[in-house]
């Protein structure tokens, strides 16, 4: 079934194109693959990046849109990524980067394209566990910048995943969130006023 990639905001794409056209931005990016790319490089596969801010014991979560991520392609492969973020003045280029999540994202997207059901592709970051997942949202017509994981959505942990969580294995949200709940250490309660710290 086709995998749906939501359209990125035009200003977010423009900031990436402007950064790619800037020799200074590319040179200072510290991404050797991008600096050494032969021929044209193009931003593709824009994915909204949502952050999982909170996991409750019931597994319910709060997410927020953190930005849009583009894979930067040179020839037949992605050589880097580009992140954008929303600022009070609108969309802004954040950074170029490379590393294992580039190839892991490509692999997970190819895997998702072979599934029987259609999904909308998003990324879901779990900062407390240093974890990034491909979030396959069941409502392909939804606004990619809003919403939270539905019980029937799939999460595909990208490599490297935390120990004990299989990379590139699709998990139902209702299956993976309870596991993540056990992994996240709750913050200690704040001391009461007048009590010893």
Structure token digits, residue 189: 């309660």
Which sign does the torsion angle of CA 173, 118, 107, 148 carry? negative
Confidence class of residue 159 from pLDDT cuts 50, 70 and 90? very high
Residue 24 sits at φ, ψ, to 5 deg, of -65, -45
Among residues 136, 128, 79, 130, which one has the least CA distance to residue 102? Answer: 79
Q: Give the burial class of 186: count Cβ atoms within 10 A of its Cβ; 0-12 exposed, 13-18 middle, 19 or more buried.
A: exposed
- Mean pLDDT over 89-118 rounds to 93
pLDDT of residue 194: 55
- At residue 119, the 3 state secondary structure works out as strand
The H or E element containing residue 95 is strand 90-97
The reported pTM is 0.87
pLDDT of residue 65: 93
pLDDT of residue 113: 93
Among residues 165, 184, 143, which one has the least CA distance to residue 59? Answer: 184
Q: What mean pLDDT, rounded, does the chain reach?
A: 87
Whether 58 shows a pLDDT value over 80: the answer reads no
pLDDT of residue 27: 73
């Amino acid at each position: 079934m086709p995998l749906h990639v939501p359209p990125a905001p035009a200003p977010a794409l423009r900031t990436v194109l402007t950064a790619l056209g800037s020799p200074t931005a590319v040179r200072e990016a510290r991404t050797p693959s991008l600096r050494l790319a032969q021929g044209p490089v193009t931003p593709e596969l824009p994915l909204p990046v949502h952050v999982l801010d909170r996991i409750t014991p019931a597994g319910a979560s709060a997410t927020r849109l953190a930005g849009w991520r583009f894979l930067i392609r040179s020839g037949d492969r992605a050589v880097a990524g580009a992140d954008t973020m929303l600022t009070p003045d609108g969309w802004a280029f954040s950074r170029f980067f490379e590393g294992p999540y580039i190839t892991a994202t490509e692999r997970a997207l190819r895997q998702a394209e072979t599934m029987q059901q259609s999904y909308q592709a998003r990324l879901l970051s779990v900062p407390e566990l240093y974890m990034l997942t491909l979030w396959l949202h069941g409502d392909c017509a939804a606004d990619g910048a809003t919403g939270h994981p539905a019980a029937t959505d799939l999460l595909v942990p990208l490599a490297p995943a935390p120990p004990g969580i299989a990379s590139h294995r699709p998990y139902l949200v209702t299956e993976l969130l309870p596991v993540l709940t056990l992994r996240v250490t709750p913050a200690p309660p704040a001391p009461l006023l007048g009590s010893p710290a």
